[in-house]
Chains A and B, each alone.
Chain A
C-alpha cells in the first residue's frame, strides 16, 4: 500500500507527499510571520523588562564595585575578630576614592539597608578622613567612632561582598540573614510585610466571596428572564463595567464620607446616632465595599455566559422527576454553572490581589495592599530592587493560581463581555 501511495506524482513530477509537506511548511511560516511583529514587540518591551526586574531584584553589584580592594582584603579575614590593618587600609583607600567621586552617600544608604547606624558613622569618617595620616589606618578609623571598632559593622560590610543576593526577597517576608548567616525573622513589632501579604490575601478572598454571592442571583435572573427585560438589566452590569475606575472610586468616596449618603441613611433609619457617624472610608471597610462593587461585573459576565447555555428544560426535568425546586437547583443547575464560577472567581481574585488605585484612595492605612507597598518603594524610597522583588513574588503567586486553575478547570473558560 505504502509503495503505491509513494508513486503518486504531482504534475511537475515531484512526489505528492513531498509537495504537500512543502506547502504545509510554507503555510506554517506564513502564519508565524503574521504573529512575529506583535510577538517581538511584546517580548522586547514586556517580557525582557520582567526579566530585567528579576536581575534588579538580586543584583548587588553596586557595593561590590564601590569597595573592590576592601572585599579583596576581606577574603582572608575569618569574620570573627576585628579585621587586620590590611583590611582597614584597603577600606580607607576605597573610601577616599568614593569621597573624591562624591559617592560615599550612596555607600552609606546601601550599607544602612544591611545594618542600621552606618549613615552617621560614614558621614563622620568622611569629615575625619581629611586629616588622616599615612599608615596605621586601623587605629585612626576606630578612633572616629566606637561603631567602627565594633566587629558587627565589619561583618555587615563583608555580607555585601557577593554580586548577587536574595536579601530583598527575605526582606519581603520580613526575614534577614544575621551575623552568623542564619535566616531569621525580624522582631515582631517590625514585621510590616507579612501583615500586608496576609491582608492582601484576606481582602482578595473576601471580595471574591462577596462578588460571588451577589453575582450568582443576578446572573441567574439575567439568564432566565425574557430577552427584552434582560437586555435592559444587562445595562446595569455593563455600564459600571465600561465606566472609568476612578469615576467609580470617586462616587464611593462621596457615598462613604462621614456626611455622605450612606451615613445619612443609617442615621435616618436610626441605626447610628447623628453625632456618632462611623468611619466607613480610609479603612478596610472602604476597600471592601468599593472593590466589591467595582469587580462585580467581572463575576457576573462569565457566570451569565455559562448560565445562558443551560437549557431550562433541565430544571423542569429535575422537578418532574420528583425533586423539589431546591433539590433540582442544587443537583442539576448548580453543578452546570461550576465552570462559570471558576472563571469568575479566578478573574476577580487575580484582579483584587493586584489592586492598587482603589485601596490607595479609599483604603487608608489599614486597607492598603501589597501593590501599594510596591508603588511606595518605586516612587518614594526609590528602592527599585526591593519593589522588583516584591513584584516578582506577587507575580509568582498569580501565575501559581493560574496554573492550579488551568489544571482544575481549563483556562479556555475565560470570556470577555
Chain B
C-alpha cells in the first residue's frame, strides 16, 4: 500500500500511525501464542524465562515436559487424548450427517416455515454455552446418559450441527439445481444423484462444516464439565483442572501440540474455502 507521491505530509504521518496501530493489534493477537513454545522446552519447573534461556544456553532447554506428558505415571493425558479423539470423531460424523441432510431440506425452495426451523436448528450456537450446558445436563441425567461417552457425543452433536447447517446451506445457495434434474432425467434415483452429483459438488462446504464441528467438540469444556465422569475426561477438562490447580510446564507441552493441531486445521480449512470459492465461481 504505497502512498502516492503527492500525499500531503500530515496524511503521510497519519498513514504511518495507522500502520503502527495495525502492527500493534496483530502483535497483540498472535504474540501470546508464541510464548508457549519456548516455555514448553524449559528445563526448569518455573513458568518464567530463566537466565539460561535468555542467553540461549542449550542446557536450559529440554524435552522433559514432553516426556512427562507421554510417559508421566500420574498423568491422565493418554486417556484424555483417546477420549477427546473418540468423542470428537463420532460427534463430527453425527453432526455432518444430520446437518447436511437438514441443510438439503432447508435449501429447497419448497421448505415450509424455513425461518422458524432455521432458528431452532442454529439455536445451540446462539444460546450461551453455560445455559446449553445446564439444559443438556438435565436431559442426559434424566436419560441416564450422564458420565457416558454417548452422552457427551450427543451433546457435541447438538453443539456442532449449527456450524454444518450454516456452511452447507451457504454452499448450496450457489448450487445449480438443474444438474440434479439432469441426473434424474437420465434415470438416476435420488440417493444415487446425491452421492454422485450433489455430494462431490458441496463437499468443500461439508468438510469445512465438519472441521468446525470437530474443533467445537475437541475444544469444548463447559458442557463436558457438567457431563463427564472420571472415565470420560478429555484434553480440555485436563487442561482446565491443570490451569485451576497449578500451571505446570506439562500443560504447555500439551498446549504446543494443540497449537500445531490447530495450525493443521487452519491450513485445511483455508484450502477448502479457496477451493469452494473457485468452484462456486466467486473470484475475490
Contacts and interface: CB of A to CB of B under 8 A. Distances in A.
B266 A239 contact: yes
Nearest to A374: B130
B163 A250 contact: no
Contacts of A43: 120
A382 to B, nearest CB: 12
Contacts of A41: 98, 157-158
Contacts of B132: 46
Interface residues of A, number: 87
Interface residues of B, number: 88
B127 A39 contact: no
B35 interface: yes
A218 interface: yes
Nearest to A251: B32
Given A45-B154, A245-B221, A30 B28 contact: no
B134 A53 contact: yes
Contacts of B28: 214, 293, 296
Nearest to B270: A238
Interface stretch (A120-128, A139-147, A349-357): A349-357
A361 interface: yes
B42 to A, nearest CB: 11
B252 A250 contact: yes
Interface in B157-183: 157-158, 161, 163, 165-167, 170
B35 A242 contact: no
A28 B30 contact: no
Nearest to A52: B138
B126 A233 contact: no
B284 interface: yes
Contacts of B33: 239-240, 243, 247-248, 251
Contacts of A53: 131, 134-135, 138
Interface of B: 1, 11, 18-19, 21-22, 25-26, 28-30, 32-33, 35-36, 39, 47-49, 98-99, 101-102, 104-106, 108, 110-112, 117, 120-121, 123-124, 126-139, 142, 154-155, 157-158, 161, 163, 165-167, 170, 208, 212, 215, 218-219, 221-222, 225-226, 236, 239-240, 243-244, 247, 251-252, 255, 258-259, 262-263, 265-266, 269-270, 273, 284
Given A35-B106, A247-B255, 12 more contacts: A31-B108, A34-B101, A38-B102, A41-B157, A42-B158, A217-B25, A235-B266, A243-B33, A243-B258, A260-B48, A350-B126, A402-B126
6 contacts: A38-B161, A242-B215, A254-B39, A361-B240, A378-B137, A378-B226
Interface of A: 24, 27-28, 30-35, 37-39, 41-50, 52-53, 56, 214-215, 217-218, 221, 224-226, 233, 235-255, 257, 259-261, 293, 296-297, 308, 325, 350, 353-354, 356-357, 360-361, 371, 374-375, 378-379, 384, 387-388, 391-392, 394-395, 398, 402, 416-417
